Amino acid sequence: MMDDRKIWVIEDKESPEITSLGEAIVVAPNRPAPRPAPVRQHKAVQAPRPALRTTTTRTRKPMSPVRSAILLAAGYGLGPAALLLTARGRSGGPWMAALAGTTVLTAVLGVSWWAIAVRDGSPSLLGPMLAGSLVCLLMAFTIWAKALQLLVTAQRFAGQPWPTWIRSPWMAGLLGLVAPGSSWVLTRWPQRAAWTVWTIWPAAAGALLLVQAELLWHHRAALAGWGVSADSLEKGFVMAGLVVLAAPLVWLAQAMIGARATAMVAGRWQHGRGDWSALALAAALVAMVLAVEPADLAADLDGGADVLQAAGCQVLPMHLTKLARELDPGQPAYTLQLADLYAARGEDEIADRVREDLARDLRPYVGALVRDGAWGAMMEQALPRRVAVATAAEPARE
């Protein structure tokens, strides 16, 4: 059955465009769509802004050179307490706690040392006291170095324009001799200034050990209960003496390095001056060697060894005798006494070897000395003088 509905197509003479579909398809011309009416954009309503007040930021001016110098002197003079000079130091909880703990520990140890030295207190805790004193020194110098670093990096201090004459290399070197690390303060290197201050603590520990050497040696039996033998104590004295002797050289070196750094910052460093510094150091060493009489110095060291061995020491007299033998190798007394010291310690093999070396060295000269009659006098002078003393001191040492 055919559908009787018809589709009428009405064409427009212009370009057609289908507009509807149904009973008829109307082809309309291609006309642009009407533009939508423009939307009026209303200005957003903003809340009224409050009136801005004209304010000025207060900046703290740098301190005067005089006040900065006073503050720097206080930083060096107060030691660990210099942490209280800066706001960052006072607000630092762990550092303030460390300062309080170090202060309390120092007071307790000071009273304990005084009780043993003056009031003849019990030395049973001498070992922990010695260890606590060394730890206390380490903590004190660590806090002191941190306090100095905070002081140098403080806003008012860091912006200080130091006078030109203070920033000169010669003045920086002189200040470095008076206060270690101060030359680094002038060149605005707080970390190096703090490190220089911290490196003083080994010399301070060595000085403490030497100052209390007599007390520690007198109560060496109490220290033995804490695992510190008499030989270890003597070796500790030797190490402390070496550190204290090296401290002035390190002190001088840090002052010279600080002076050189100041000159480099100022642009006045000349590399040729290093040759003159090396020549000056060599001349000073030569003058020192020429001024020292080796034989007299060896005799003084030998006398010190006698005193120490009379007190019951064995390691220290041995080292002093070795040094005396090196200074005056033509004196066989020092070699024989060194052999006797080894024998007194039970090291017979080393003692025999020392005597054999002496006999081999003297064999070419024995005949001439006997003919001249000097051999007997030399042997009388070379008789051991300290073996009896060491034997008598051995029970007390043990």
List the single range of 20-24, 103-107, 190-194, 266-270 with lowest mean pLDDT: 20-24
Rounded to whole angstroms, the Cα distance separating 53 from 59 reads 19
Give the DSSP letter string of 155-203: HHHHT----TTTTSHHHHHHHHHHSTTHHHHHTT-HHHHHHHHHTTHHH
Is the pLDDT assigned to residue 195 strictly greater than 80?
yes
Structural element, H or E, at residue 308: helix 294-310
CA 340 to chain centroid, in Å, comes to: 41
Greater model confidence, 264 or 26: 264
pLDDT band at 30 (very low <50, low <70, confident <90, very high): low
The pLDDT tens digits for 91-112 are 878 999 999 999 999 999 988 8
Strand 24-27 with 8-10, pairing: parallel
Provide the token pair at 99: 């300062």
User: Is this model's pTM higher than 0.75 or not?
Assistant: no
Per-residue pLDDT, averaged over 258-263, amounts to: 79
Q: Beta strand pairing status for 18-20 and 8-10?
A: unpaired
Per mean pLDDT, which range of 62-71, 116-125, 279-288 is the poorest?
Answer: 62-71
At residue 56, φ and ψ (nearest 5 deg) are -125, 135
Q: What are the residue boundaries of the structural domains of the chain, listed by start? A: 65-291, 294-397
Contact 130, 178 (CB under 8 A): no
* CB 310 within 8 Å of CB 393: yes
pLDDT tens digits, residue range 355-392? 888 878 777 766 666 666 666 666 666 555 544 444 44
